């Protein structure tokens, strides 16, 4: 039972690591309870499969919990959460606990978000009446976000975009991290 991990640092691939577990339950716990980090870098995990070749391992997505804020109360439901989540990436699971409480301020949806695009900050949705409403996103356990370009995997000080854009004009910031 193994998982492979590679993390992106300063625009290049630094390494592939292999973790071995003596019990399947341990491996499943690690895979299901991320995202993980080490030394303020994202650890992307992939279950090792027979026949895998190290240099062909690619990490294209990251599983991440997204909070959707600013929805009209009549759109705080699982169907709207899945639709919004599909706009970010592949929906893994819709958190229905808050919806069931009738006290929800936001929706939570776990998605596999692509790593080749900046993270979305907000998105327009249509209300049941056909009005455009903008919702804002916050991300739980957000690690390695560049406030200059919006990509995960490096910080602003290592960003090649940081020289071309004034830091005060940044479209990304600490406000994208969800509070607990």
Q: Which of 55-64, 83-92, 133-142, 161-170 has the lowest mean pLDDT?
A: 161-170
pLDDT at 153 over 70: yes
Residue with the larger pLDDT of the pair 131 and 41 = 131
pLDDT at 97 over 80: no
Residue 22, helix vs strand vs coil: coil
The residue written with tokens 């090649």 in the block is 160
Angle, CA of 110, 112 and 115, to the nearest 5°: 135
**Residue 29 host element (H or E):** helix 24-32
What is residue 13's predicted lDDT score, i.e. its pLDDT?
45
By percentage, how much of the chain surpasses pLDDT 70? 84
Mean pLDDT across the chain, nearest whole number?
81
What is residue 101's predicted lDDT score, i.e. its pLDDT?
67
Burial group, residue 7, by CB count within 10 angstroms (0-12, 13-18, 19+): buried
pLDDT at 103 over 90: no
Contact partners, residue 162, CB within 8 Å, separation at least 6: 148, 156
pLDDT at 120 over 60: yes
Residue with the larger pLDDT of the pair 147 and 167 = 147
State mean pLDDT over 7-31: 73
Measured CA to CA, the distance from residue 126 to residue 132 in angstroms comes to 5
Tell me the pTM: 0.78
State mean pLDDT over 149-164: 76
Q: CA dist 99 to 102, 106, 109, Å?
A: 6, 9, 11
How big, in percent rounded to 5, are the helix, strand and coil portions of the chain?
20, 40, 40
Task: Kindly indicate the confidence band of residue 9, based on its pLDDT and cuts at 50, 70 and 90.
Answer: very low
pLDDT at 86 over 90: yes
Most confident residue range from 11-15, 37-41, 73-77: 73-77
Closest CA to 145 of 66, 40, 58: 40
Domain range summary for the chain, segments of one domain joined by +? 2-59, 62-176
Q: CA dist 140 to 18, 112, 121, Å?
A: 26, 13, 13
Q: Which residues of 128-156 are buried (b: 16+ CB within 10 A; e: fewer)?
A: eeeeeeebbbbbeebbbbbbbbbbbbbbb
């Amino acid at each position: 039972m193994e998982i492979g991990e590679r993390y992106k640092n300063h625009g290049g691939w630094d390494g592939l690591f292999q973790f071995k577990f003596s019990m399947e339950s341990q491996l499943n716990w690690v895979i299901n309870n991320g995202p993980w980090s080490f030394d303020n870098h994202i650890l992307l995990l992939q279950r090792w499969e027979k026949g895998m070749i190290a240099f062909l391992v690619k990490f294209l997505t990251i599983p991440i919990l997204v909070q959707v804020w600013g929805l009209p109360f009549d759109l705080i439901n699982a169907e709207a959460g899945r639709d919004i989540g599909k706009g970010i990436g592949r929906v893994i699971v819709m958190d229905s606990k808050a919806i069931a409480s009738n006290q929800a301020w936001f929706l939570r949806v776990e998605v596999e978000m692509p790593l080749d695009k900046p993270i979305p900050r907000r998105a327009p949705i249509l209300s049941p009446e056909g009005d455009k409403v903008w919702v804002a996103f916050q991300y739980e356990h957000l690690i390695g976000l560049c406030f200059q370009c919006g990509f995960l995997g490096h910080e602003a000080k290592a960003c090649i975009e940081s020289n071309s854009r004034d830091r005060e004009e940044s479209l990304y910031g600490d406000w994208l991290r969800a509070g607990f």
